[in-house]
Structure 1
Amino acid sequence: MSFKAKLVGDIPGAFAQAFKFHADENEEPFSNEEVDDPPEGTVAIKLSKRTKMNIRAKWAHSLIVKVFGQTVGFHFLHSRIMQLWKPAGRLDYIDLENDFYLCKFRLVEDFEKVLKGGPWFISEHYLTIHAWEPYFKPNVVACSKVAIWVCLPRLPIELYEMEVLKEIGRAIGPVLRVDANTAVGTRGRYARLCV
Protein backbone atom coordinates (compact mmCIF):
# COMPACT_ATOMS: atom_id res chain seq x y z
CA MET A 1 0.00 0.00 0.00
CA SER A 2 1.44 3.39 -0.97
CA PHE A 3 1.97 6.28 1.43
CA LYS A 4 -0.93 8.18 -0.15
CA ALA A 5 -3.16 5.12 0.14
CA LYS A 6 -2.39 4.98 3.86
CA LEU A 7 -3.74 8.46 4.38
CA VAL A 8 -7.04 8.63 6.18
CA GLY A 9 -9.88 8.81 3.68
CA ASP A 10 -11.79 11.93 2.94
CA ILE A 11 -13.24 14.01 5.68
CA PRO A 12 -16.77 14.07 4.25
CA GLY A 13 -17.43 17.28 2.35
CA ALA A 14 -14.09 18.88 3.34
CA PHE A 15 -12.84 19.55 -0.19
CA ALA A 16 -16.22 20.69 -1.45
CA GLN A 17 -16.65 23.08 1.46
CA ALA A 18 -13.07 24.41 1.48
CA PHE A 19 -12.95 25.11 -2.24
CA LYS A 20 -16.68 25.79 -2.69
CA PHE A 21 -17.19 23.03 -5.27
CA HIS A 22 -20.71 22.02 -6.11
CA ALA A 23 -21.93 25.58 -5.71
CA ASP A 24 -25.62 25.98 -6.18
CA GLU A 25 -26.22 25.79 -9.94
CA ASN A 26 -29.02 28.31 -9.59
CA GLU A 27 -26.61 30.80 -8.03
CA GLU A 28 -25.74 33.46 -10.55
CA PRO A 29 -22.81 35.80 -9.92
CA PHE A 30 -24.23 38.43 -12.22
CA SER A 31 -27.78 39.65 -12.51
CA ASN A 32 -29.89 39.00 -15.58
CA GLU A 33 -31.25 42.51 -15.33
CA GLU A 34 -30.61 44.95 -18.12
CA VAL A 35 -27.15 46.46 -18.10
CA ASP A 36 -26.43 50.15 -18.43
CA ASP A 37 -25.45 51.37 -21.84
CA PRO A 38 -21.97 50.08 -22.55
CA PRO A 39 -19.18 52.56 -23.27
CA GLU A 40 -19.05 53.80 -26.86
CA GLY A 41 -17.40 51.29 -29.15
CA THR A 42 -18.32 48.25 -27.03
CA VAL A 43 -21.26 45.89 -26.99
CA ALA A 44 -23.02 44.18 -24.08
CA ILE A 45 -24.37 40.69 -24.74
CA LYS A 46 -26.98 39.19 -22.46
CA LEU A 47 -26.97 35.39 -22.18
CA SER A 48 -29.89 33.43 -20.79
CA LYS A 49 -29.42 31.38 -17.65
CA ARG A 50 -29.96 28.22 -19.70
CA THR A 51 -27.23 29.19 -22.18
CA LYS A 52 -24.83 29.93 -19.33
CA MET A 53 -25.54 26.53 -17.76
CA ASN A 54 -24.99 24.78 -21.11
CA ILE A 55 -21.67 26.46 -21.90
CA ARG A 56 -20.36 25.97 -18.35
CA ALA A 57 -21.32 22.29 -18.03
CA LYS A 58 -18.38 21.04 -20.10
CA TRP A 59 -15.92 22.74 -17.73
CA ALA A 60 -17.36 21.26 -14.52
CA HIS A 61 -14.51 18.75 -14.14
CA SER A 62 -11.67 21.08 -14.99
CA LEU A 63 -8.85 22.39 -12.85
CA ILE A 64 -6.91 25.62 -13.17
CA VAL A 65 -3.25 25.03 -12.35
CA LYS A 66 -0.17 27.18 -11.92
CA VAL A 67 3.34 26.34 -10.77
CA PHE A 68 3.93 28.50 -7.71
CA GLY A 69 7.10 30.59 -7.85
CA GLN A 70 8.32 29.31 -11.22
CA THR A 71 7.52 29.92 -14.88
CA VAL A 72 7.43 26.72 -16.92
CA GLY A 73 6.71 26.05 -20.57
CA PHE A 74 3.54 24.52 -21.95
CA HIS A 75 5.07 21.26 -23.22
CA PHE A 76 7.27 20.74 -20.15
CA LEU A 77 4.37 21.18 -17.73
CA HIS A 78 2.02 19.05 -19.83
CA SER A 79 4.56 16.23 -19.91
CA ARG A 80 5.20 16.41 -16.15
CA ILE A 81 1.48 16.55 -15.32
CA MET A 82 0.78 13.48 -17.45
CA GLN A 83 3.62 11.58 -15.68
CA LEU A 84 2.53 12.76 -12.26
CA TRP A 85 -1.23 12.28 -12.50
CA LYS A 86 -1.39 9.33 -14.93
CA PRO A 87 -5.03 9.94 -15.88
CA ALA A 88 -7.03 6.90 -16.99
CA GLY A 89 -9.08 9.01 -19.40
CA ARG A 90 -8.34 11.86 -21.72
CA LEU A 91 -6.91 15.08 -20.28
CA ASP A 92 -7.16 18.22 -22.40
CA TYR A 93 -4.59 20.83 -21.49
CA ILE A 94 -5.07 24.50 -22.37
CA ASP A 95 -2.57 27.33 -22.03
CA LEU A 96 -4.09 30.42 -20.42
CA GLU A 97 -2.27 33.69 -19.92
CA ASN A 98 -0.22 34.68 -16.86
CA ASP A 99 1.27 31.15 -16.44
CA PHE A 100 -2.12 29.54 -15.72
CA TYR A 101 -3.19 26.33 -17.43
CA LEU A 102 -6.57 24.63 -17.64
CA CYS A 103 -6.77 20.85 -17.29
CA LYS A 104 -10.06 19.41 -18.50
CA PHE A 105 -10.72 15.83 -17.40
CA ARG A 106 -12.97 13.47 -19.34
CA LEU A 107 -13.36 11.15 -16.33
CA VAL A 108 -14.75 12.37 -13.01
CA GLU A 109 -12.57 9.79 -11.25
CA ASP A 110 -9.40 11.40 -12.65
CA PHE A 111 -10.59 14.85 -11.60
CA GLU A 112 -11.31 13.71 -8.03
CA LYS A 113 -8.07 11.69 -7.79
CA VAL A 114 -5.97 14.72 -8.71
CA LEU A 115 -7.96 17.11 -6.56
CA LYS A 116 -7.76 14.96 -3.44
CA GLY A 117 -4.42 13.26 -4.08
CA GLY A 118 -2.04 16.20 -3.72
CA PRO A 119 -0.05 18.06 -2.81
CA TRP A 120 1.63 18.05 -6.21
CA PHE A 121 5.10 19.33 -7.06
CA ILE A 122 6.72 20.13 -10.40
CA SER A 123 10.52 20.46 -10.27
CA GLU A 124 10.37 21.05 -6.51
CA HIS A 125 7.83 23.85 -6.94
CA TYR A 126 4.30 23.60 -5.59
CA LEU A 127 1.58 23.14 -8.19
CA THR A 128 -1.44 25.19 -7.18
CA ILE A 129 -4.76 23.75 -8.31
CA HIS A 130 -8.32 24.91 -7.99
CA ALA A 131 -11.57 24.06 -9.70
CA TRP A 132 -12.55 25.97 -12.81
CA GLU A 133 -14.85 28.89 -12.10
CA PRO A 134 -16.98 31.03 -14.43
CA TYR A 135 -15.44 34.29 -15.61
CA PHE A 136 -11.93 33.24 -14.54
CA LYS A 137 -9.51 36.00 -15.59
CA PRO A 138 -5.85 34.92 -15.30
CA ASN A 139 -4.55 38.47 -15.57
CA VAL A 140 -6.31 39.66 -12.39
CA VAL A 141 -6.65 36.52 -10.25
CA ALA A 142 -4.76 35.99 -7.02
CA CYS A 143 -4.51 32.54 -5.44
CA SER A 144 -6.31 32.79 -2.12
CA LYS A 145 -6.73 29.09 -1.27
CA VAL A 146 -4.17 26.33 -1.58
CA ALA A 147 -4.19 22.88 0.01
CA ILE A 148 -0.95 22.33 1.94
CA TRP A 149 0.50 19.79 4.38
CA VAL A 150 1.52 21.22 7.73
CA CYS A 151 3.83 19.54 10.20
CA LEU A 152 3.27 20.09 13.94
CA PRO A 153 6.44 18.96 15.78
CA ARG A 154 6.62 17.95 19.44
CA LEU A 155 2.86 17.75 19.91
CA PRO A 156 1.98 15.95 23.18
CA ILE A 157 0.87 12.39 22.45
CA GLU A 158 -2.52 12.81 24.16
CA LEU A 159 -3.44 15.31 21.41
CA TYR A 160 -3.11 12.62 18.72
CA GLU A 161 -6.88 12.08 18.62
CA MET A 162 -8.70 12.66 15.35
CA GLU A 163 -11.12 15.25 16.74
CA VAL A 164 -8.37 17.13 18.59
CA LEU A 165 -6.14 17.16 15.48
CA LYS A 166 -9.04 18.47 13.40
CA GLU A 167 -9.63 21.22 15.98
CA ILE A 168 -5.94 22.21 15.91
CA GLY A 169 -6.00 22.18 12.12
CA ARG A 170 -9.11 24.37 11.97
CA ALA A 171 -7.06 27.11 13.63
CA ILE A 172 -5.01 27.15 10.41
CA GLY A 173 -7.76 26.49 7.86
CA PRO A 174 -10.32 23.87 6.80
CA VAL A 175 -8.88 20.40 7.51
CA LEU A 176 -8.88 18.20 4.41
CA ARG A 177 -6.90 15.17 5.63
CA VAL A 178 -5.01 13.78 8.59
CA ASP A 179 -2.00 11.54 7.97
CA ALA A 180 -2.83 7.92 8.89
CA ASN A 181 0.26 7.52 11.09
CA THR A 182 -0.69 10.72 12.90
CA ALA A 183 -4.29 9.60 13.35
CA VAL A 184 -3.37 6.28 14.98
CA GLY A 185 -0.50 7.76 16.98
CA THR A 186 2.24 5.48 15.63
CA ARG A 187 4.49 8.44 14.90
CA GLY A 188 4.86 10.84 17.83
CA ARG A 189 7.58 13.16 16.58
CA TYR A 190 5.17 15.32 14.62
CA ALA A 191 1.60 15.49 13.38
CA ARG A 192 0.79 16.00 9.67
CA LEU A 193 -2.43 17.66 8.52
CA CYS A 194 -3.58 18.77 5.10
CA VAL A 195 -5.36 22.13 5.36
Structure 2
Amino acid sequence: MSYKETLMGEKPNTTAAVDDPFDEDNIDIEEGEITRGLVNGIISIDFSDRINALAVKSLDQTVVLKLLGRRIGYNTLHSKLYDLWKPSQEIKLMDIENNYFLATF
Protein backbone atom coordinates (compact mmCIF):
# COMPACT_ATOMS: atom_id res chain seq x y z
CA MET A 1 0.00 0.00 0.00
CA SER A 2 1.41 3.38 -0.94
CA TYR A 3 1.67 6.38 1.38
CA LYS A 4 -1.02 8.18 -0.64
CA GLU A 5 -3.40 5.21 -0.40
CA THR A 6 -2.86 5.10 3.35
CA LEU A 7 -3.59 8.82 3.79
CA MET A 8 -6.56 8.83 1.46
CA GLY A 9 -8.08 5.67 2.93
CA GLU A 10 -7.90 3.79 -0.38
CA LYS A 11 -7.44 0.04 -0.52
CA PRO A 12 -4.85 -1.51 -2.83
CA ASN A 13 -5.96 -3.68 -5.75
CA THR A 14 -4.85 -7.06 -4.43
CA THR A 15 -6.88 -10.23 -4.56
CA ALA A 16 -4.57 -12.64 -2.74
CA ALA A 17 -4.00 -12.33 0.98
CA VAL A 18 -0.33 -12.02 1.85
CA ASP A 19 0.91 -13.61 5.09
CA ASP A 20 2.79 -10.81 6.83
CA PRO A 21 5.52 -12.18 9.11
CA PHE A 22 5.42 -8.92 11.07
CA ASP A 23 1.70 -9.11 11.80
CA GLU A 24 0.72 -8.05 15.32
CA ASP A 25 -0.04 -11.68 16.17
CA ASN A 26 3.61 -12.67 15.55
CA ILE A 27 5.35 -10.51 18.13
CA ASP A 28 6.84 -13.35 20.14
CA ILE A 29 10.38 -12.48 21.18
CA GLU A 30 12.54 -15.56 21.17
CA GLU A 31 15.67 -16.35 23.14
CA GLY A 32 18.72 -14.59 21.70
CA GLU A 33 16.85 -11.95 19.68
CA ILE A 34 17.80 -9.26 22.19
CA THR A 35 21.28 -9.15 23.68
CA ARG A 36 22.37 -6.77 26.40
CA GLY A 37 25.90 -5.89 27.35
CA LEU A 38 28.43 -3.20 28.19
CA VAL A 39 30.69 -1.52 25.64
CA ASN A 40 33.31 0.80 27.17
CA GLY A 41 31.12 1.19 30.26
CA ILE A 42 28.02 2.11 28.23
CA ILE A 43 24.96 -0.12 28.14
CA SER A 44 24.52 -1.78 24.74
CA ILE A 45 21.34 -3.45 23.46
CA ASP A 46 21.43 -5.34 20.16
CA PHE A 47 18.36 -6.58 18.35
CA SER A 48 18.04 -9.36 15.79
CA ASP A 49 17.16 -8.44 12.21
CA ARG A 50 13.56 -9.60 12.77
CA ILE A 51 13.06 -7.42 15.86
CA ASN A 52 14.74 -4.46 14.14
CA ALA A 53 12.47 -4.83 11.09
CA LEU A 54 9.44 -5.06 13.38
CA ALA A 55 10.42 -1.81 15.14
CA VAL A 56 10.99 -0.02 11.83
CA LYS A 57 7.68 -1.30 10.43
CA SER A 58 5.78 -0.06 13.49
CA LEU A 59 7.07 3.48 12.82
CA ASP A 60 6.68 3.56 9.03
CA GLN A 61 3.59 5.79 9.25
CA THR A 62 4.70 7.94 12.18
CA VAL A 63 5.80 11.57 12.16
CA VAL A 64 7.70 13.29 14.97
CA LEU A 65 6.27 16.74 15.67
CA LYS A 66 8.09 19.55 17.45
CA LEU A 67 6.64 23.02 17.58
CA LEU A 68 9.34 25.64 17.62
CA GLY A 69 9.06 28.80 19.65
CA ARG A 70 6.10 27.94 21.84
CA ARG A 71 4.51 25.24 23.93
CA ILE A 72 1.15 23.76 23.02
CA GLY A 73 -1.07 21.31 24.86
CA TYR A 74 -2.11 17.89 23.63
CA ASN A 75 -5.79 18.74 23.05
CA THR A 76 -4.97 21.99 21.25
CA LEU A 77 -2.48 20.27 18.95
CA HIS A 78 -4.89 17.39 18.28
CA SER A 79 -7.65 19.81 17.26
CA LYS A 80 -5.28 21.91 15.15
CA LEU A 81 -3.96 18.86 13.27
CA TYR A 82 -7.49 17.78 12.36
CA ASP A 83 -8.35 21.33 11.26
CA LEU A 84 -5.21 21.69 9.11
CA TRP A 85 -4.75 18.19 7.68
CA LYS A 86 -8.41 17.05 7.50
CA PRO A 87 -7.46 13.35 7.61
CA SER A 88 -9.78 10.68 6.22
CA GLN A 89 -8.78 8.30 9.03
CA GLU A 90 -7.94 8.71 12.69
CA ILE A 91 -4.59 10.23 13.67
CA LYS A 92 -3.10 8.74 16.82
CA LEU A 93 -1.24 11.43 18.72
CA MET A 94 1.19 10.65 21.54
CA ASP A 95 2.79 13.21 23.82
CA ILE A 96 6.41 12.31 24.39
CA GLU A 97 8.62 14.39 26.63
CA ASN A 98 10.22 17.79 25.95
CA ASN A 99 7.35 19.15 23.82
CA TYR A 100 7.66 16.42 21.16
CA PHE A 101 4.68 14.50 19.82
CA LEU A 102 4.32 11.38 17.68
CA ALA A 103 1.52 11.38 15.10
CA THR A 104 0.71 7.95 13.67
CA PHE A 105 -1.48 7.58 10.60
Normalised by the shorter chain, which TM-score bucket?
Answer: 0.5 to 0.7
Query: Structure 1 residues 69, 48: closer, same or farther in 2, change over 3 A?
Result: same
Query: Structure 1 residues 58, 88: closer, same or farther in 2, change over 3 A?
Result: same
Report the residue type matching 2:39 in the other structure: D
Q: Which segments of 5 or more consecutive residues in structure 1 lack a partner in the other structure?
A: 1-33, 106-195
The percentage of aligned residue pairs carrying the same residue is 26
Aligned counterparts of 2:64 and 2:39: Cα–Cα separation in 1:
32
When Rg is computed on C-alpha atoms for both structures, the one with the higher figure is 1
RMSD: 2.3
TM score, norm. by length of structure 1: 0.32
TM score, norm. by length of structure 2: 0.57
Q: Deviations over 1:142-190 (max 9, x none)?
A: xxxxxxxxxxxxxxxxxxxxxxxxxxxxxxxxxxxxxxxxxxxxxxxxx
Aligned counterparts of 1:35 and 1:57: Cα–Cα separation in 2:
27
Query: What SS does the corresponding residue of 1:80 show, helix, strand or coil?
Result: helix
2:64 aligned partner: 64
> Of 36, 39, 44, which aligns to 1:36?
39
2:48 aligned partner: 48
Q: Deviations over 1:50-81 (max 9, x none)?
A: 21111220111111112221111111111111
Higher relative contact order (CA 8 A, sep 6+): 2
The number of residue pairs the alignment matches comes to: 70
Query: What SS does the corresponding residue of 2:102 show, helix, strand or coil?
Result: strand
Q: Which segments of 5 or more consecutive residues in structure 2 lack a partner in the other structure?
A: 1-36
